[in-house]
Amino acid sequence: MSSQPSHPTLLIPGPIEFDDAVLQSMSHFSESHVGPGFVATFGETLSMLRKLFQTTSSSSQPFVISGSGTLGWDLVGANLVEAGENALVLSTGYFGDNFGDCLKVYGANVDILKSTVGSRPQLPEIEQALKSKKYKIITVTHVDTSTGVLSELKSLSETVQRVSPDTLLIVDGVCSVAGEEIDFDAWKLDGVITASQKAIGCPAGLSISMFSGRAMEALEARKSPPASYFASMKNWRPIMQNYEAKKSSYFATPSPQLVHALHTALSQILTKPLSERFAKHAEVSDKIKKAVTDLGLKQVASDPADQAHLMTAIYLPESVKGTDLLPKLANSGVIFAGGIHKEIATKYIRFGHMGVSVTDPARTDISKAIDALKGGLSACGYQTS
């Protein structure tokens, strides 16, 4: 039984429901950010991130910085691409488009490759784009939270390696890390940025990322200094290295309570093989997708191969408005999210299924949510069977 007060179950694509121990870590008594106790906690947290991202290369560099997931885009834009350099952005929704906007702020020449809502750019067109000019970086949104479209990383990486091996491959894993498989070394990724509040299961407030040795070399080889102060990897990298070596160090004050919560969340995740965690998320997702299909509903991500395992973006029946359905779900104790992709915002809803709601056998969040969805649609006058 959770020790948390009774509350509606939060099943949006992040923030998600929290384990009690993670939430209790948020109330950790005050510690110095440069004292040995917290330095050890932060150092262990960074080392655990290497395991989460499946990287054993000593040149890989984890970062944990106070901020939203969005700050990860600035880390990429201000450090790994310089004004006038080319960036190829693969977009599968709102978040891909905005990643591109962020890169433009830092002066990158951004080409956005996108397809119709619910699908994703295909390898032949990506290959063609990569051959058309020299790109410093290519970015891909692993799961675009606005559409639930899952991008394929392994074959994308093989294409980049073959066609444009100097291009850095950067993954927005905000809505995928700790739920979808990511094999940082084997897939030769150069950067994965994420946030604390999605499948990692920690409260929001931390930008979490992993960059390759190659990305760190690109940082050092910059002709101009990083284009941000707070988001400068040159400012943060020695701090992260010191914390991981259990040495105190200061650039800007981290959040000890959030780092404690992240430490607890990662410790829990790493008690089991990651493969088991990914499989569990896939199994529960399949069950949800089947229920959605059985209800006669379509997903925004049209091809089953492109459907994320951590969330489901569901088109509403024509007769049902999200503004009618979502409050009914809330009355049943389940919070879903509305649409966010501007082309279809009012036509769909989003159901997040990650973290303890999926992995904790004591919780019945998912079946409760499916029942609530059925009941809510019915109450909106939609015949569900």
**In sequence order, which residues have a C-beta less than 8 Å from that of residue 43 and are 6 or more positions away?**
243, 244, 245, 246
Tokens of 57: 């290369």
Q: How far is the CB of 36 from a copy of itself (least distance, A)?
A: 9
Q: How far is the CB of 17 from a copy of itself (least distance, A)?
A: 5
Q: What is the DSSP letter of 381?
A: T
Q: Which is nearer to a copy of itself, 107 or 213 (CB)?
A: 107
Known binding positions: 350
Q: Which is nearer to a copy of itself, 61 or 145 (CB)?
A: 145
Q: Which is nearer to a copy of itself, 187 or 211 (CB)?
A: 211
- 350 contacts 311 by C-beta, under 8 angstroms: yes
Known binding positions for substrate: 350
Q: Which is nearer to a copy of itself, 202 or 291 (CB)?
A: 202
Q: Which is nearer to a copy of itself, 145 or 157 (CB)?
A: 145
Q: Which is nearer to a copy of itself, 63 or 106 (CB)?
A: 106
Q: How far is the CB of 72 from a copy of itself (least distance, A)?
A: 9
Residues contributing to the site for a copy of itself (CB under 8 A): 4-5, 7, 10, 12, 14-18, 23-24, 26-35, 65-71, 73-74, 77-78, 101-102, 105-106, 195, 197, 203-205, 225-232, 250-258, 335, 337, 340
* CA–CA gap between residue 287 and residue 25 (Å, rounded): 32
Q: How far is the CB of 108 from a copy of itself (least distance, A)?
A: 11
Q: How far is the CB of 299 from a copy of itself (least distance, A)?
A: 21
**Nearest of 39, 246, 240, 14 to residue 146 by alpha carbon:** 14
Q: How far is the CB of 186 from a copy of itself (least distance, A)?
A: 30
* CA–CA gap between residue 355 and residue 180 (Å, rounded): 11
* CA–CA gap between residue 242 and residue 166 (Å, rounded): 29
DSSP assignment string, 165-219: TTSEEEEE-TTTTTTS---TTTTT-SEEEEETTSTT---S-EEEEEE-HHHHHHH
Q: Which is nearer to a copy of itself, 245 or 252 (CB)?
A: 252
Q: Which is nearer to a copy of itself, 160 or 208 (CB)?
A: 208
* CA–CA gap between residue 304 and residue 266 (Å, rounded): 30
* CA–CA gap between residue 98 and residue 233 (Å, rounded): 21
Q: How far is the CB of 56 from a copy of itself (least distance, A)?
A: 30
Cα–Cα distances (Å) from 73 to 101, 139, 173, 368, 369, in that order, read 10, 10, 11, 35, 32
Stated as kind and residue range, the H or E segment containing 308 is none
Q: Which is nearer to a copy of itself, 105 or 186 (CB)?
A: 105
DSSP assignment string, 219-288: HHT-SS--S-STT-HHHHHHHHHHHHTT----SS---HHHHHHHHHHHHHHTTS-HHHHHHHHHHHHHHH
Is residue 15 reached through a cis peptide bond, with omega within 30 degrees of 0 on the bond before it?
Answer: yes
Type of residue numbered 129: A
Residue in the structure block whose two tokens are 């179950």: 9
Q: How far is the CB of 383 from a copy of itself (least distance, A)?
A: 29
Residue in the structure block whose two tokens are 């074959």: 155
- 191 contacts 209 by C-beta, under 8 angstroms: yes
Q: How far is the CB of 67 from a copy of itself (least distance, A)?
A: 5
